[in-house]
Structure 1
Amino acid sequence: MHPTTRLFTVALHLNTMSKPIAIIAGVGPGTGAAVARKFALSYPVALLSRNPATYDPIVADINKSGGKAIGISTDVSDLKSVKAMVEKVKEEYGNDVKCAAAVFNASGAFVRKPFLELTGENMDSSYAGSVKGSFNFAQATLPLLLASTSTSPHPPSLIFTGATASVKGSASFAAFATMKFSLRAMAQSLAREFGPKGVHIAHAVIDGVIDIPRTKEWDLGEGGED
């Protein structure tokens, strides 16, 4: 590598380390990818998912486009995995890394069944990814968000993605609605605690079937392709 190129690379890396970052949990081909690309326009990003195959193409695309992205295999329902994620973030962006935004887009298992057909395993899998996962993620990222309140031009933000099921439990959606109601409740509580400390907490209801491989087989009736 030419000395000038090496110097530019080092300078770029140091500049990246000094900027606040965005951490997005639940990055896949739909909402997570869109959120990741949006934040990558302004910040270095850390993209989290259990399966690297879901974030690898997005990381590559962001880096190819001139942004800075890393992917970290993380199970948000596992506290050890979340703590390891924070250590990897610090390895990449520095021990004094600050966070401009953290987005929890992960979810527990989507289960749609008549209530009397639900099992304890169904409820546990819904709880683990959404309720326990959001708890672990919020505890891990809030210290990084609080650290940037004095220097960030915008209020550091912790954002949870919800659904209509966060406010309305439909028939056969008991497991899904329960985890989404819980997520909204956590967001409300954190907003009242951390809003006065300078961290903006938001719960965003995002609905609609997204055109991704998993939904191709869904019967949406007339006009499904649109």
Structure 2
Amino acid sequence: MSEDIAVIVGAGKGLSAALARRLHQEGFRIALVARNVEKLAPLVAETGALALSGDVQNPQAVETAFTAVDRTLGPPSLVVFNAAARYRGAVEELDPGEVLDAYAVGAFGGFLTAQAAARRMLARGSGSIFFTGATASIKGMPHSIPFAMQKFALRGLAQSLARELGPRNIHVAHFVIDGGISSSWATPGEGGPADKWLAPEAIAETYLSTHRQHRSAWSFEVDLRPWVEKF
């Protein structure tokens, strides 16, 4: 079995799809984990990926998905956590259940994914665990409390893991996607300069190059933003 095995957790259109396509071009064998695997059918057909249904906030579901990867593909060399839940509203109007769900998906789900990945990578002696962050990872905005809570927590998780696992030859990196991704919008680029949205293919290229970094010069936090974005 190839050692180039990637697991993308929280897979969907946009960044996850672009990353799957790019890794497929490089010969990776790929597993895609999502709540709704039916939506992944076109991507599976295109990349030959293994599609696995799983709720990232459920410990047993995460372990079951990774066990399926072990059995079908082998131990992963790259795991990317892309899952998040978005709820918006004024603080006095937010539903506590939705806030808890956002945290469970975007933060606790990140922990469960990282734990499953780390156990396998420690056994194989190497690997990369990547987390997709956002502007909200470093700057909370009005009416975006649930998203900021999960992204701040995810960044803290990534920092702790990097310090713990780096000396054990596991590369942990956190990516701050500081701007809108073009595929998330109905008409990318409309009403402004060209390339005002981040191209998912360009982000995927950065993830791949970070995975391939020499361990004498690993990146931890990578900021990505379009050339017109203020920061």
Which residue does 1:66 correspond to in 2? none
Which residue does 1:98 correspond to in 2? 75
2:9 pairs with 1:25: yes
**How many Å apart are 1:224 and its aligned residue?**
9.3
**How many Å apart are 1:225 and its aligned residue?**
9.5
2:170 pairs with 1:222: no
Q: Look up the equivalent residue of 1:28 and give its one-letter code.
A: G
Identity among equivalent positions (%) equals 40
Relative to 1, partners in 2 of residues 1:88 and 1:177: Cα closer, same or farther, differing over 3 Å?
Answer: same
Which residue does 1:190 correspond to in 2? 161
2:80–2:129 contact (8 Å) kept in structure 1: yes
Which residue does 1:73 correspond to in 2? 53
Which residue does 1:152 correspond to in 2? none
> Which secondary structure state, in structure 2, belongs to the residue aligned with residue 171 of structure 1?
coil
Distance (whole Å) between structure 1 residues aligned to residue 36 and residue 194 of structure 2? 28
Stretches of structure 2 lacking an aligned partner (at least 5 in a row) = 196-231
Distance (whole Å) between structure 1 residues aligned to residue 19 and residue 28 of structure 2? 12
Of 83, 99, 104, 2:63 maps to 83
Relative to 1, partners in 2 of residues 1:146 and 1:209: Cα closer, same or farther, differing over 3 Å?
Answer: same
Of 52, 60, 77, 2:37 maps to 52
Of 133, 138, 141, 2:109 maps to 133
**How many Å apart are 1:207 and its aligned residue?**
3.4
Calculate the TM-score normalised by the size of structure 1: 0.78
2:57–2:112 contact (8 Å) kept in structure 1: yes
**How many Å apart are 1:25 and its aligned residue?**
0.6
Stretches of structure 1 lacking an aligned partner (at least 5 in a row) = 1-16, 64-68, 150-154
2:192 pairs with 1:208: no
**How many Å apart are 1:43 and its aligned residue?**
1.4
**How many Å apart are 1:90 and its aligned residue?**
2.2
> Which secondary structure state, in structure 2, belongs to the residue aligned with residue 147 of structure 1?
helix
1:27–1:54 contact (8 Å) kept in structure 2: no
Distance (whole Å) between structure 2 residues aligned to residue 195 and residue 54 of structure 1? 35
Q: Which has the larger radius of gyration?
A: 1
How many residues align? The count is 194
2:137–2:151 contact (8 Å) kept in structure 1: yes
What is the root-mean-square deviation in Å for CA atoms of aligned residues?
A: 2.2
